[in-house]
């Protein structure tokens, strides 16, 4: 069982930045496929960014050029750097992981992931 714990959420004004972190209990997360998802109030959870076990990345169109997913395998930590934040980025952000490869075209598909964190709230004000 892999435990995932997100942190780094908070409140920020539009145009600002935040960096989310996801600490994993498993070692060798470099061999995992991992992703960030978000769920706004009253809406379904959607994929934001993903990174496969070969370090290929995928982003939702709505965040391309603004968000960057990365990981530090030595620290067993996944990151999401969020720049130029917009009010529509307001949501609960979740980290997800699978101990294996997910093809890049499916990295934003939540059904591909086995492990989930509890989420961290991001609020962007205008």
Task: Give per-residue pLDDT as tens, 68-110.
Answer: 999 999 999 999 999 999 999 999 999 999 988 888 889 999 9
CA-closest candidate to residue 102, choices 31, 68, 45, 52: 52
What is the predicted pLDDT for the residue at 27?
75
Sign of the Cα pseudo-torsion (12, 62, 97, 33, in order):
negative
Distance between CA atoms of residues 111 and 113, nearest Å? 6
What is the predicted pLDDT for the residue at 40?
97
Whether 35 shows a pLDDT value over 90: the answer reads yes
In this prediction, residue 1 has a pLDDT band, given cuts at 50, 70 and 90, of confident
What is the predicted pLDDT for the residue at 78?
96
CA-closest candidate to residue 93, choices 58, 53, 49: 49
What is the predicted pLDDT for the residue at 104?
87
Lookup result for tokens 């169109």: 61
What is the predicted pLDDT for the residue at 31?
85
CA-closest candidate to residue 122, choices 40, 5, 54, 66: 40
What is the predicted pLDDT for the residue at 23?
96
The two beta strands, 10-13 and 120-125, are parallel
């Amino acid at each position: 069982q892999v435990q995932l714990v997100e942190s780094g959420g908070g409140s920020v004004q539009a145009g600002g930045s935040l960096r989310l972190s996801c600490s994993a209990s498993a070692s060798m997360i470099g061999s995992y496929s991992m992703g960030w998802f978000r769920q706004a109030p009253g809406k379904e959870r959607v994929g934001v960014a993903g990174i496969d076990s070969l370090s290929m990345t995928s982003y939702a169109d709505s965040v391309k050029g603004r968000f960057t997913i990365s990981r530090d395998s030595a620290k067993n930590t996944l990151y999401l750097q969020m720049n130029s934040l917009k009010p529509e980025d307001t949501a609960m952000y979740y980290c997800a992981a699978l101990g294996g490869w997910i093809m890049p075209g499916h990295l934003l598909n939540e059904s591909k992931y086995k492990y989930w964190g509890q989420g961290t709230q991001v609020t962007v004000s205008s």
